[in-house]
A and B are shown apart, each in its own frame.
Chain A
Amino acid sequence: MLNTLLKKIIKTGAGRFRYVLAMVGLTVALLLILAAIQLQANYWQLLKGGGAQDSIANFLVINKVVTNQNAGNTNLTNQDIEDLKKQPFIQAVGVVTPSRFKVAASGGSAMPFYTDMFFESVPDQFLDITGGDWKWDDQTQFIPIVIPNQFLDMYNFGFAKSQNLPQLSHELVKSIPIRIDIQTPTGQKSFYAKVAGFSDRISSILVPQAFMEWANKNFATEPPKGASRVIIRTDDPSNPKLIEYLDSHHMTTDMEKTRFSKYRQIVGFVVQVSGFTGLAMFLFALLIFSLFIELTIASCREEIRLLVTLGASPGQLRKFLMKTFYPANIVIAIIVLVILSILQWLLSGLLAHESMTISPVISLYTMVGAVIVLLILWWVHVRTIKRQIAGT
């Protein structure tokens, strides 16, 4: 009853149109802010979610860009490597050790080929071949090697087709012993090797680190050369900072694996633009709200004074004014959350066709964002009303 009377006494009609405009503005602002949060949340989910990421994506081989100026001198210095280790987006750095002896491989009758080749090794932690196969000591009969998948593809779909040779499966390749001839200072030494696995990660022929160290020690014909390539593990190969770092240090890596970086920059840009626009609009909406409250109270100054004279407490009036002005904000927040929920649901359906999985409901961050915005609005309302009532 009291509120009905207060509503008749404190007319909120003044500047109604401006108030509605401010409400629309707040709706758009809130939509932009929360959409930015939701977009970011979706992107994180795509990035960190199980389906989107294979183990390979986390490892990158890095080397200097070969230019006409630095050709022949593309080693990474110790300082370069230390610097890489210090970057927050790089979790581990492993030096790729090259062989310092000449190697030739031949296939025998099952796979008649002969080629000069080279070995490299990386610390075991950077390989996903585990178990007994990837071990070497001087008692081991076969040296396990890892070859790039591309090699086999090139052979199967290029070479074998054109030369009428049989295509080889992974299993078959793994079962064929390969003869390895190493040129040592004291003459040629022969070993047998077996392919232990295929790698998409490193475009090189890998042997276990233990064999490499042993062989380099015993057979090296050249002095140590330093590292020309390193392998890194990163939790996010699409991190634009990583790409930026590599570019600025004239390094390069497998761009395929970092292609996500472009998308990420675009998403980041959209999120920023949307977020900042939303924030700016939100600030204007706040300003208009407080002005509207001031206007309303100022236009009812006489009435409010008489109410206080009759015994209305400032607390009562503040409560009434809060009840008058604030609920609209809650309604707007709910409307915006509903709109975003619908959009999110549609988006998740759309992306499901592209086999990208995002949650069909809006993220917790978005809801927390809405609550924070409501708290800010609440604070601004309380403050404005308190100041204005005290001023009458």
Chain B
Amino acid sequence: MEITLENIIPIPLKENLEKRPSQVWQSKVHFGPGTKVKIKAPSGTGKTTLVHFLYGLRADYTGTLHWDTKALNKLDADQVARYRQSEISVVFQDLRLFAHLTARENIELNRVLQPKEPYYPDTVIQEMATTLQVDHILDQACGICSYGEQQRVAIIRALVQPFSLLIMDEPFSHLDQNNAQKAAALIDSECDKRGAGLVLTDLEEDSFFNYNTYLSL
């Protein structure tokens, strides 16, 4: 899928934005398969807001946002769900796991959510968890896992579904350099396998991926 932003201004940030330039707000931006985009921005400039706009969680903006050829606010709930099941995947900054489900169940849910055959067999959960060194907490309720562990579970959850665009909001914020490297490698290979594009927002510069585009908010 492709996401096109045209003249998007978040209503809550409207006054702030008029004072400073931005490469995303009030301009035309394009995200799609195959391109790796890094959006670097300090706190409070609307990173999470942008991720929520892109993923269709919020609509308090002016301008138009297209998912493929259709304006996002013109899509009905079932069409949005179909995109989220098979075209767009996400890692939220606040992770958004079901605290009372185990890590495995949280991941499994996203694997089996689309009505078609799952993209991966369930053995892949174990493999990815082993790669990211969270296999020991797979059967533990997410609520009692550490943030670092939860973040890796959220990353695996995003990777077990089919997608052509992966959106991540500070995905390595709770990981040490070593674990972040491993997670990035896994994400990179999964994106390449699907020919998918990714959009990553963060506070700092990083060299986890071969970004095609750098944008500042």
A residues with a Cβ closer than 8 A to B are 1-2, 5, 8-9, 303, 306, 308-316
Task: List 4 extra interface pairs beyond A308-B81, A309-B57, CB under 8 A.
Answer: A9-B109, A310-B96, A311-B110, A312-B113
Is A308's CB under 8 angstroms from B109's CB? no
Is A308's CB under 8 angstroms from B108's CB? no
| B96-128 vs A, Cβ < 8 Å mask (1 yes, 0 no) | 101011000100111011110000000000000
Quote the shortest CB–CB distance from B78 to chain A (angstroms): 5
User: How many chain B residues have a CB neighbour from A under 8 Å?
Assistant: 22
Find residues 78-103 in chain B having any chain A CB closer than 8 Å to their own CB.
78, 81-85, 96, 98, 100-101
Is B108's CB under 8 angstroms from A311's CB? no
Q: List 17 A-B residue pairs with CB atoms under 8 Å apart, sorted by A's residue number.
A: A1-B108, A1-B112, A5-B101, A9-B98, A306-B98, A308-B77, A309-B55, A309-B84, A309-B96, A310-B84, A310-B110, A310-B113, A311-B85, A311-B110, A312-B81, A316-B81, A316-B115
Is B109's CB under 8 angstroms from A310's CB? yes
* Nearest 6 interchain pairs by C-beta: A311-B84, A313-B81, A311-B85, A2-B112, A313-B78, A314-B77
* A residues less than 8 Å from B110 (CB atoms): 310-311
With most chain A CB atoms within 10 A of its CB, the pick from B57, B96, B109 is: B109
**How many residue-residue contacts, CB under 8 A, span A and B?**
53
Is B77's CB under 8 angstroms from A5's CB? no
Partner of A9, one of B77, B81, B82, B101: B101
Is A5's CB under 8 angstroms from B81's CB? no
B residues with a Cβ closer than 8 A to A are 55, 57, 77-78, 81-85, 96, 98, 100-101, 105, 108-110, 112-115, 161
Is B109's CB under 8 angstroms from A5's CB? yes
* A residues less than 8 Å from B98 (CB atoms): 9, 303, 306
* B residues less than 8 Å from A315 (CB atoms): 78, 81
CA of A5 to CA of B101, assembled, Å: 9
CA of A311 to CA of B77, assembled, Å: 10
Is B114's CB under 8 angstroms from A311's CB? yes
Quote the shortest CB–CB distance from B155 to chain A (angstroms): 14
CA of A309 to CA of B52, assembled, Å: 10
Is A5's CB under 8 angstroms from B115's CB? no
Given contacts A306-B96, A316-B115, A2 and B109 within 8 Å (CB-CB): yes
Can you name the residue of chain B whose Cβ is closest to the Cβ of A313? B81
* B residues less than 8 Å from A5 (CB atoms): 101, 105, 108-109, 112
Quote the shortest CB–CB distance from B162 to chain A (angstroms): 11
CA of A305 to CA of B100, assembled, Å: 16
CA of A5 to CA of B100, assembled, Å: 11
Is A311's CB under 8 angstroms from B81's CB? yes
* A residues less than 8 Å from B77 (CB atoms): 308, 313-314
Can you name the residue of chain A whose Cβ is closest to the Cβ of B118? A1
Can you name the residue of chain A whose Cβ is closest to the Cβ of B114? A311
* A residues less than 8 Å from B85 (CB atoms): 311, 313
* A residues less than 8 Å from B112 (CB atoms): 1-2, 5
